[in-house]
Structure formats: C-alpha cells, structure tokens
Amino acid sequence: MNYQPLHYIYQAATSIPTGVTVLLLHGTGGDERDLLPLAQGFGPGVNVLSVRGNVSEGGMPRFFRRLGMGVFDEDDVRFRTHELAAFLVQVSQKEGFDATQVVAVGYSNGANIAGSLLLLYPELLAGAVLWRPMQPLTRDVPAVHTTRRPPVFFNPGSRDPTVDPAATERYAALLSAAGFQLTRQDTPAGHNLTPADVDGGIAWFRQHFAAPAAPNPAR
C-alpha cells in the first residue's frame, strides 16, 4: 500500500517505565504539538507518541477526509486507519516501545481515528480515551469482537451540536457489544474539550494503567 509517513513527536518515559505508550491524536486543525501539554498528566512512567494527521482540509490537519460536517469519507477512513496501524508497528520498532501496550488518547477527529482502530484492529490497542467521539464507520460496519477486552473511556458532550445523540447511543452500544470495557462520561458541554473531560480521562487512565507500586525497602 502507498502509505505516507506521519509526522510525530516521541517522548520516552522519564521515570520507571510502565511499558505503556500514550498515543496522542489531535482534533481538526491541530498537530502533533496540540495535546502535548496534557501528556504530563498521564504520569512520568509512560511514553508519549503524538502524531499529526496526513490529510489537509483547507490547511487544517486531519486524520481522514470528510465530505461535509459530520459526514466522513469512509473509504479514506479505512485507508488512513490501515496507514496509522502500519505506522504504529514501524515506529515502535524505531523508538523501542511495545506496540501491544499503546493507549490512544484522541479528541474529536483524533477520537474518531482511534475509534476506527478499535473497529478495524480490535486487538491492537491496550485502551483508548475518546473525547467527543463519533462513529467513524457506519457503512459496511465490520463484525467486531475483541478477546482482549481493552478498556475505553467514552466521553461525549451532551450539548454537542455536531453529533446526533441517537448515533452516540448506537456507537456506545456497538463498542460494548464488541467486548470493549466502556466507561462512559457524558459532559454537559458542546464539542469543546473541557477541564472536566481532561481530568476524567486522566483519572480513568491512572485507574487502568497506573504504574506498579515501588517496593518499600522498610518492609
């Protein structure tokens, strides 16, 4: 396949490593630096991989094309998802992290490409934080099942004008039925990312992917 390289920033863990790598996926118009200020909240023991989408919409980076507001080019969604999955394997070998211990953290368009990874590669990710998600594939939806049962933080905005609430319910039900362990937090906000969203995602992450406690030499 004619996959393009993705621009990224990689930061190795700065303390005792947990083995987990957080994959930061920006929203429309962001880039690989957009979510980096949030990275320290996940703890110094995690690696951070922040990626820029390869699609440009009026000069704004995205992870896949869309045909209109809330209408995705699903052929491109599939292609870009395969491209990102191949990139993760390649960059894990280059940077020396475990590709089976990647937790995607995405906002808006970034959450949607992360969701597409869950649907097309249900055994790939160790977990995911989906801030303001929309179901990325609605045509020919793959028969998804995961035996790995990775946890997923699912965080829609209850006042989000860009998402049909019924579609959000269907998407959540699809992920749960596929075997993902869904923790849902509906924020009373629109499409914007709020401090409560960030705090909720980080608390969820630390609950599921906290570093093992260091041995106490006094015991």
Active site residues per annotation: 108, 160, 191
Q: What is the CA radius of gyration of the chain?
A: 17
Report CA dihedral (61, 49, 147, 75) to the nearest 10 degrees. Answer: 20
CA neighbours closer than 13 Å in the CB half-sphere of residue 182 = 21
Burial (CB count <10 Å: 0-12, 13-18, 19+), residue 31: middle
**Which residues 6+ apart lie within 8 Å of 185 measured at CB?**
153, 154, 155, 197, 200, 204
C-alpha to C-alpha distance for 136 and 170, rounded to whole angstroms: 12
- 3's tokens: 């996959």
| First-residue to last-residue Cα distance in the chain | 56
